[in-house]
């Protein structure tokens, strides 16, 4: 018990800063006319995604993301939504992962992934200012300049430069993941955030394809100090194409993991009414890690799976 008390006392400054960050996030979005919403944590179906394994809850699941419900709200006529929600994913534990984590997601109509990238940039810079930090932030011994705009590089160019192959022309998900960690991320300028844009279409199950290049999806990820901070894309609005992608994922999940995942039928029915929009999923725990100069998710979370 004494060790537990010492641990929680040590975490107090980071948890206080975490609370302030969440307050500033709410103020940021409310000032821009976003409505904060709450969607279910326990759900009958999740989006079929090969590398995301849900926790079962009787015959339902714990939510892996609020995305499907938030898009159903967009389809019903809401224009700007944000949510900070607890999400759950099995087999995710490490320095940057906990099976239960906090996700910030926001969506707005009339936008694509380019505008959503700008939202991410503005949010991080605004939070730093509210915390009394400047545009150079020290994280794990590295000075990181977050002044805008952040550098962008396409997946194709990043992999050709650092790994010597084109994952758009020759898709290979296993090689992609290996080379991203071992070769591509280390090639990014350590003192700047990097936005990796235009992912292979096979790696963007809910994203719109680029009109001039069907092999590329309008998806981007933001990396800061080695952290994968946020994922954004222009939302797919073609129900038949979305069903085809989901069906393909369902088959892969069944073959590789022996798990049966149902088709998100209500979500598919709502897509016909979905306006042009963009969305972002950002890891609150990782954002707090960056703004607290913390090495691990354990340093910014009161209770992890190991201490609960």
**Whole-prediction pTM value?**
0.96
Phi and psi torsions of 235, nearest 5°: -75, 135
Q: Is pLDDT of 220 > 90?
A: yes
pLDDT at 258: 87
Whole-angstrom distance, CA of residue 100 vs CA of residue 168? 33
160 alpha carbon, distance to own chain's centre? 25
Question: What CATH number should be reported for the domain holding residue 91?
Answer: 3.30.930.10
Q: Which two tokens stand for residue 152?
A: 């962008």
Does any domain span residue 157?
A: no
* pLDDT per residue as tens digits for the range 147-160: 999 999 999 999 99
Does any domain span residue 69?
A: yes
Whole-angstrom distance, CA of residue 228 vs CA of residue 185? 10
Does any domain span residue 192?
A: no
Whole-angstrom distance, CA of residue 179 vs CA of residue 258? 27
Model confidence band, residue 16 (pLDDT cutoffs 50, 70, 90): very high
Q: Is pLDDT of 127 > 90?
A: yes
Rg (C-alpha) for the chain, rounded Å, is 19
Contacts for 255 with CB less than 8 Å, ≥ 6 apart: none
Please tell me whether residue 200 adopts helix, strand or coil conformation: strand
Does any domain span residue 277?
A: yes
Tokens 């979500």 map to which residue?
A: 267
Model confidence band, residue 2 (pLDDT cutoffs 50, 70, 90): low
Whole-angstrom distance, CA of residue 279 vs CA of residue 262? 24
Contacts for 141 with CB less than 8 Å, ≥ 6 apart: none
222 contacts 195 by C-beta, under 8 angstroms:
yes
Structural domain tally of the chain?
A: 1
164 alpha carbon, distance to own chain's centre? 27
77 contacts 40 by C-beta, under 8 angstroms:
no
Does any domain span residue 175?
A: no
Percent of the chain residues past pLDDT 70, beyond the cut: 99
Phi and psi torsions of 277, nearest 5°: -160, 165
Q: Is pLDDT of 41 > 90?
A: yes
Please spell the DSSP secondary structure of 259-290, one letter per residue.
------HHHHHHGGGPPSEEEEEEEHHHHHHH
Note down the domain range covering 88: 4-147+231-299
Average pLDDT, whole number, for the chain?
Answer: 95
Phi and psi torsions of 100, nearest 5°: -110, 125
Does any domain span residue 168?
A: no
Handedness of CA 243, 166, 173, 233 (dihedral sign): negative
* pLDDT per residue as tens digits for the range 173-191: 889 999 999 999 999 999 9
In terms of DSSP bridges, do strands 194-200 and 209-210 run parallel, antiparallel, or are they unpaired? unpaired
Does any domain span residue 187?
A: no
* pLDDT per residue as tens digits for the range 53-90: 999 999 999 999 999 999 999 999 999 999 999 999 99
Q: Which two tokens stand for residue 117?
A: 């990238």
Does any domain span residue 104?
A: yes
């Amino acid at each position: 018990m004494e060790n537990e008390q010492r641990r929680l006392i040590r975490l107090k400054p980071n948890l206080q800063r975490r609370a302030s960050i969440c307050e500033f996030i709410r103020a940021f979005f409310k000032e821009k006319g976003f409505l904060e919403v709450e969607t279910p944590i326990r759900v009958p179906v999740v989006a079929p995604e090969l590398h995301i394994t849900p926790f079962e809850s009787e015959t339902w699941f714990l939510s892996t993301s609020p995305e499907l419900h938030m898009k159903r709200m967009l389809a019903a006529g809401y224009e700007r939504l944000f949510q900070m929600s607890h999400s759950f994913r099995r087999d995710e534990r490490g320095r940057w992962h906990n099976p239960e984590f906090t996700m910030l997601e926001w969506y707005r109509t009339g936008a694509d992934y380019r505008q959503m990238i700008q939202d991410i940039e503005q949010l991080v810079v605004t939070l730093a200012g509210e915390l009394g930090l400047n545009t150079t932030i020290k994280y794990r011994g590295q000075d990181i300049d977050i002044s805008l705009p952040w550098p962008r590089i396409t997946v194709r160019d990043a992999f050709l430069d650092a790994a010597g192959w084109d994952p758009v022309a020759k898709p290979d998900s296993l090689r992609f993941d290996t080379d991203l960690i071992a070769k591509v991320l280390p090639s990014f300028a350590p003192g700047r955030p990097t936005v990796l844009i235009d992912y292979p279409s096979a790696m963007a199950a809910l994203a719109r394809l680029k009109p001039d290049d069907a092999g590329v999806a309008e998806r981007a990820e933001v990396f800061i100090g080695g952290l994968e901070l946020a994922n954004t894309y222009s939302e797919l609005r073609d129900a038949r194409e979305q069903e085809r992608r989901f069906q393909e994922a369902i088959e892969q999940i069944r073959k590789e993991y022996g798990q049966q995942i149902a088709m998100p039928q209500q979500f598919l029915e709502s897509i016909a009414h979905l306006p042009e929009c963009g969305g972002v999923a950002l890891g609150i725990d990782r954002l707090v890690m960056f703004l607290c100069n913390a090495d691990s998710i354990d340093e910014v979370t009161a209770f992890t799976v190991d201490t609960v």
